[in-house]
Amino acid sequence: MFCNGPVERTALEWRLLYGRIFKTVIILSSQKNEDLAVEARHLNRLYKHLPKIFDRYSSAEGFLFLQDDTILNYWNLLQADKTKLWITDKVSKSWTTVSTDGNTDWYGKQAEMVRKVVGSMPVHFQVNYKEAMKSDRNLVVGSSEIFYIPQHHVTDYVDLVGLVGDLDIHQKVAIPMFFMSMDSPQNFDSVLSTMVYKPKPPPANSTLYSAQAPAVHPWNVSSEQDFIKLTRIMAEGDPLLMELV
């Protein structure tokens, strides 16, 4: 889990919430905090660090990545296929396709690096990626607030990170590229396709929340009080959460 907010006010709370469901909750942030076991990483290059976490927990069934501005309604994930990739490719406004033909801006530079990586990929990765993309003049940018990688795709992911090497490909570009290379999007589990997703937050968090959705974005938790409010709202889906407040 990557925390954009103040970890000294929220790290323990996130572990309390999600630690009831997951065997291990790893907290990452731009600021290191040894007392709270928070590791320091930059979000825009975080994908390059994930292989170290995969190696550390090599017996895990899979790995779910989550940013703290996205709430996971874990009770709605029970039917999801844990052997498949999960990501928000079918969520409106989460993934966008940008035409980079003739562009020399940030998107154009990112697309150039993507083409370089794709050109160095083993054939099966190239086939998957090119079938999904159709045109090498397009670039997919995905917000990647939440995604899941099953254990049997870990080696593929690690190989793809190795192909990127020192290239400065942004996380929002790298993650969609990796997922489309690892498997065809039609094989992804659709569990996240019904998540609540808005590019910008509404005036009040509570107007956005739905206990029936697999996840909700965006949601702001920057204090213990925010966490208590969230827990009470989430109790609609998991009544046992009321024991935490």
Rg (CA), the chain: 18
- CB-based contact 190:92 (threshold 8 Å): no
Banded model confidence at residue 103, pLDDT cuts 50, 70, 90:
confident
Q: Provide mean pLDDT across the span 24-47.
A: 96
Of 93-107, 169-183, 201-215, 223-237, which one has max mean pLDDT? 169-183
Q: What are the tens digits of pLDDT across the range 178-196?
A: 999 999 999 999 999 999 9
Percent over 90 (pLDDT), the chain: 89
Distant-in-sequence, close-in-space partners of 75: CB < 8 Å, separation ≥ 6: 237, 238
- Neighbouring C-beta atoms of residue 111, cutoff 10 Å: 22
Banded model confidence at residue 206, pLDDT cuts 50, 70, 90:
low
Bridge partners for 86 per DSSP:
148, 189
Distant-in-sequence, close-in-space partners of 134: CB < 8 Å, separation ≥ 6: none
Nearest to 183 by CA among 158, 153, 146, 144: 153
Domain boundaries, the chain: 2-244
Banded model confidence at residue 168, pLDDT cuts 50, 70, 90:
very high
DSSP category for residue 8: H
Q: Provide mean pLDDT across the span 123-149.
A: 95
Banded model confidence at residue 199, pLDDT cuts 50, 70, 90:
confident
The pLDDT assigned to 205 comes to 65
Q: Provide mean pLDDT across the span 100-120.
A: 92
Specify the pairing of strand 62-66 against strand 146-150: antiparallel
The pLDDT assigned to 147 comes to 99
The pLDDT assigned to 244 comes to 84
Chain-wide mean pLDDT for the chain?
95
Q: Could you tell me the CA-to-CA distances from 2 to 118, 149, 204 in Å, in that order?
A: 27, 16, 23
DSSP assignment of 121-188, as one string?
S-HHHHHHHHHHHS-TTEEEEE--SEEEEEGGGHHHHHHHHHHHTT----HHHHHHHHHHHHS-GGGS
- Host H or E run for residue 216: strand 215-217
